[in-house]
Amino acid sequence: RAAARATLLAGALAARARAGYYGARHRRAAEASLERVLTGPAGTATGGHQLTVFVPVEDGRATTATLLRALYALRDAVDYQRATGGMEAFDAAVAAGVSRELTEAVVALVQGTEGARVALEWSPAAGPPPGFSTRPEPVAFTPGDLPGLREAGARYVRDEPSVPVRVTGAVVRLGRAGPGGPGTVRLRVLAGADVARLRIVLDEDDYRIAGHAHLVGLPIRVSGRLESRGGFRRLSRAGGVAPVRVDDAERDRLLKSLQENLDFFEEACGEEACGEP
């Protein structure tokens, strides 16, 4: 079940954007799009086990169509790699929706079995989407495909570039080793990056600004590079921190969050960092 859901999640991610490795990017929206997916009870099929997943047409058509294209492209890339030893077909397959997340999901489907077969049937009432046949050909993977899939997944992580961003977020945690010097800030991202939270190391001045903004219930804006290492959960070369004005309702909500975590904030931030200069 977990592997089947991971396969659908890879399709949902690819339906939002193409990337060789997503990490934390787009994950919140992709997972939300799968909330209405139903997984039937596991059953038996000829020579093995069968699991049926029901995806709503209105919410899941883009996900299933993208996933089917990606699985075909992944099958072709694996065949090319097994025949020639070359990995370049995996690079081209990213445009069709193949990613590290999909290779990992297929590995999870196949390992410990004699193989996995994915078949898709469209809703009879809705019919197939444009460009697809009424009864798409199933896609199958075997244990012999696993080395190529694992190598491709590692390649996707290694080659995915960092991304320059300018992020707006609410400070939810601060901490540093002493009363002065650089410190670490965790942000709940509001805009500027397709991730939910970020970890950022700031110099002393920027850390102080972040602390003051947090105390008065204001988010901050900060520039840097979203690093693929660690799953795009870290902002490197961060700087230019500035508080951002928000409407009263949002400010009140941020202040309420601060009050609920005030003891932790005072302990982590320290009097010198958060008090008046």
Domains of the chain as residue ranges with CATH: 2-159 (no CATH), 163-274 (2.40.50)
For residue 48, count CB atoms less than 10 angstroms from its CB and return exposed for 0-12, middle for 13-18, buried for 19 or more. exposed
Cβ pair 236, 167 in contact under 8 A = no
Query: What distance in Å separates the CA atoms of residue 193 and residue 228, rounded to the nearest whole number?
Result: 13
For residues 62-91, give the mean pLDDT.
96
Supply the Cα-derived Rg of the chain in whole angstroms: 23
81-110 pLDDT, tens digit per residue, is 999 999 999 999 999 999 999 999 999 999
CA–CA gap between residue 74 and residue 198 (Å, rounded): 31
Average pLDDT over residues 165-189: 91
Of 69, 64, 153, the residue nearest 111 (C-alpha)? 153
Among residues of the chain, what percentage have pLDDT more than 90? 58
pLDDT-based confidence at residue 266 (cuts at 50, 70, 90):
very low
For range 138-144, the mean pLDDT: 96
What percentage of the chain carries pLDDT values higher than 70? Answer: 87
CA distances to 28, 54, 61, 105 from 33, rounded to whole Å, are 9, 13, 11, 18
Label residue 145 by pLDDT band (50, 70, 90).
very high
Report the distance separating Cα 146 and Cα 251, nearest Å.
50
Q: In the structure, what pLDDT confidence band is assigned to residue 167 with cuts at 50, 70 and 90? A: very high
Poorest-pLDDT segment among 74-88, 159-173, 233-247, 260-274:
260-274
Identify the pLDDT of residue 96: 96
Which of 37-41, 101-105, 179-183, 195-199 shows the highest mean pLDDT? 101-105
- Using alpha carbons, select from 246, 232, 238 the residue that is nearest to residue 170: 246
DSSP states of 93-122: HGGGT--HHHHHHHHHHHTTSS-EEE----
Q: Across all residues in the chain, what is the average pLDDT?
A: 86
Q: Which residues contact 37 (CB under 8 A, 6 or more apart)?
A: 5, 8, 53, 54, 55, 56, 60
